[in-house]
């Protein structure tokens, strides 16, 4: 069967506000996961403990009085009872299954509900305006925020206010992150100047720690090395027969991303079965690297295998970036790109 070749650099997607809201659900990779499909590491009891915590949280969503709005009315605006949790926060390293568990929670709770990454929520506010975003999300039972992170003061003030208003409306909130709530923003901006806002965020959650090693690489071979030009062509023919492949020169793709808002990256990949990049190189500029991280997340969401030539993915960011304030983002991206490269060459699949 022939391969249909497309180029992401030819695509300039447009996404309406309604389409953005409709897209707030787990990606294809996590479309059918559940608490039962999560495989806790027996050497890490916190993983099984997190499942128990989330099952209990799921059962509490939708109960009369479980949210802030109800108690604000019942007690005349006074404090909530101490045993009522408005939110739950999964803190852990890369590849321990936080997204799998968050998606499982989303599937276990009746709607209306929303599931998206932190970046997607900030993009939603930008597309709808703050008030319209609050009005839309306030009608939901549950809002799930994956990869919670504070990159700048604007995000901090925005999300502090958004989450306070959602909690007051009775919306339950669940989040995942690589950073404890009280430490969000450290190393990225003058977080000490925004401690009030950060504390408002932290106060919404009960923190559940998940320990363990990166599941994407547990017991599996290292990612295959990048291919030469001839090897790239042969591998594409062997692996992607009958599929739609997005093939681009890496440099051209990186330049193209600067003209596509990150909220449109999901639409950018629509209808694509696999990714081929020619001459991957190290990204030198931080703004460019952060855009590429968002693309890596959307590729992983859609479980798109990658075949590439050039530099290996553990060299796609500079050493300074990997050691700087955004290092957790970059390590997550490298982990996910490595998993997709393994799928591209070896056919190994892991869902975390």
pLDDT score of 181:
53
Q: What is the pLDDT along the chain (352 residues), one digit of tens a residue?
A: 688 999 999 999 988 878 888 889 998 888 899 999 999 989 999 999 999 999 999 999 876 444 444 333 333 334 444 344 478 988 887 778 899 999 999 999 998 999 998 888 888 888 788 999 999 999 999 999 998 776 666 777 787 788 889 988 999 999 888 765 555 545 444 445 445 565 666 677 788 888 887 555 444 446 667 888 788 888 888 889 889 999 999 999 999 999 998 888 989 999 999 999 999 999 999 999 999 999 999 998 888 999 999 999 989 999 999 988 788 788 889 988 998 998 888 764 444 4
3-state helix, strand, coil split of the chain in percent (to 5) is 50, 15, 35
- Residue 244 near residue 273, CB atoms below 8 Å: yes
Domains, the chain, ordered by start: 4-10+216-346 (3.40.50), 42-212 (3.40.50.300)
- Residue 58 near residue 105, CB atoms below 8 Å: yes
Give dist(CA 156, CA 149) in Å, integer: 9
- Residue 241 near residue 3, CB atoms below 8 Å: yes
pLDDT score of 153:
66
- Residue 161 near residue 130, CB atoms below 8 Å: yes
pLDDT score of 152:
60
Give dist(CA 257, CA 291) in Å, integer: 7
pTM, to two decimals: 0.73
List helix spans (H) across the chain. 17-22, 45-60, 68-74, 98-108, 118-128, 130-137, 153-168, 195-202, 229-239, 250-257, 265-268, 286-301, 319-323, 327-346
pLDDT score of 285:
96
Residue with tokens 């408005």, as numbered in its chain = 86
pLDDT score of 264:
87
- The residue length of the chain stands at 352
């Amino acid at each position: 069967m022939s391969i249909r070749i497309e180029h992401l650099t030819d695509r300039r997607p447009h996404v309406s506000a309604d389409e953005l809201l409709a897209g707030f659900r787990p990606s294809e990779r996590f479309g059918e996961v559940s608490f039962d499909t999560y495989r806790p590491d027996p050497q890490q009891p916190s993983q099984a403990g997190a499942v128990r915590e989330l099952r209990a949280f799921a059962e509490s969503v939708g109960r009369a009085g479980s949210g802030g709005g109800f108690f604000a009315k019942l007690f005349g605006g006074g404090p909530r009872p101490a045993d009522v949790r408005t939110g739950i926060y999964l803190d852990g390293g890369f590849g321990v299954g936080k997204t799998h568990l968050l998606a499982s929670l989303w599937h276990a709770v009746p709607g209306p509900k929303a599931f998206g990454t932190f970046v997607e929520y900030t993009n939603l506010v930008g597309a709808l305006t703050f008030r319209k975003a609050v009005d839309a999300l306030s009608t939901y039972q549950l809002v799930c925020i994956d990869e919670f992170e504070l990159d700048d003061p604007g995000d901090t003030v925005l999300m502090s206010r958004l989450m306070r208003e959602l909690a007051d409306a009775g919306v339950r909130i669940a989040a995942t992150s690589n950073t404890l709530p009280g430490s969000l923003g450290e190393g990225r901006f003058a977080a000490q100047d925004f401690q009030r806002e950060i504390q408002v965020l932290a106060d919404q959650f009960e923190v559940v720690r998940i320990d363990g090693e990166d599941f994407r690489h547990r017991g599996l071979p290292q990612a295959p090395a990048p291919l030469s030009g001839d090897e790239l062509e042969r591998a594409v023919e062997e692996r992607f027969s009958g599929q739609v492949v997005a093939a681009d020169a890496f440099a051209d793709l990186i330049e193209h991303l600067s003209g596509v808002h990150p909220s449109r990256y999901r639409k950018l990949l629509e209808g694509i079965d696999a990714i081929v990049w020619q001459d991957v190189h190290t990204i030198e500029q931080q703004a460019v690297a952060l855009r590429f991280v968002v693309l890596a997340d959307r590729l992983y969401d859609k479980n798109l295998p990658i075949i590439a030539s050039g530099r290996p993915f553990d060299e796609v960011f500079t050493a300074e970036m990997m050691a700087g304030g955004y290092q957790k983002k970059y390590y997550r991206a490298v982990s996910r790109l490595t998993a997709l490269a393994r799928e591209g060459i070896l056919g190994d699949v892991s869902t975390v």
